Amino acid sequence: MKSKKLRTYKYKGKNFMSKIFTAAILMMVMQFGATAQVLPNIKLSTMDGAGFQTQQLNEITGKPVVLSFWATWCIPCLNELTAINDNLDYWNKESKFEFYAISEDDSRTARRVPAVVNGKGWNFNVLLDKNQDLKRELNLMNIPYTMVIKDGKIIYRQAGYVAGNENDLYKIIKANQ
């Protein structure tokens, strides 16, 4: 009796798993041709502690808005933002866009954010997502993660950073003027 029970359970488990994967694959297939995702409205904060609703980013029209998710302890994130900051003057001269670096530092390191940003001489907007609410709603598993929004729609995503990715990002900015 016992072994029979066990077998049914195992079978059920397998079946359940396969359904999850089928569902996941179904979702992926359905995605093709779909219109772009809208950024959710989440309350973040600015470096001086004021609230910032991400809806404001959806309301920027006519130019791309770049969101780069980072943290003070994440070396590839710092590499990415340093590379972007080095190019920022040139990019701003040639193109119209807005840039926001969104810190995923929690309360262990969030207070270091203004010191890091100023200490590195970064010249872009910085927002804080202290309990990772935006990261969770966007289903971002790892940072660095960069996305571009235009007229409220997410038009480009890049997970991770390797040297040179900033050139791909700039191509997207230029193509969406």
Summarize as ranges the residues that interact with other proteins (CB under 8 A). 13, 16-17, 19-20, 23-24, 27-31, 33-38, 40-41, 48-50, 53, 55, 72-75, 78-79, 82, 86, 106-109, 111-112, 114-121, 130-133, 136-142, 154, 156-160, 162-165, 167-168
Shortest gap between Cβ of 96 and other proteins (angstroms)? 23
Nearer to other proteins, 96 or 157 (CB): 157
* Shortest Å distance, C-beta 40 to other proteins: 7
Which pair of structure tokens corresponds to residue 161?
């950073």
Least separation, in Å, of the C-beta of 132 and other proteins?
Answer: 7
**Widest distance between CA atoms in the chain:** 77
Compare residues 96 and 102 and give the one whose CB is closer to other proteins: 102
Q: Name which of 43 and 96 has its Cβ closer to other proteins.
A: 43
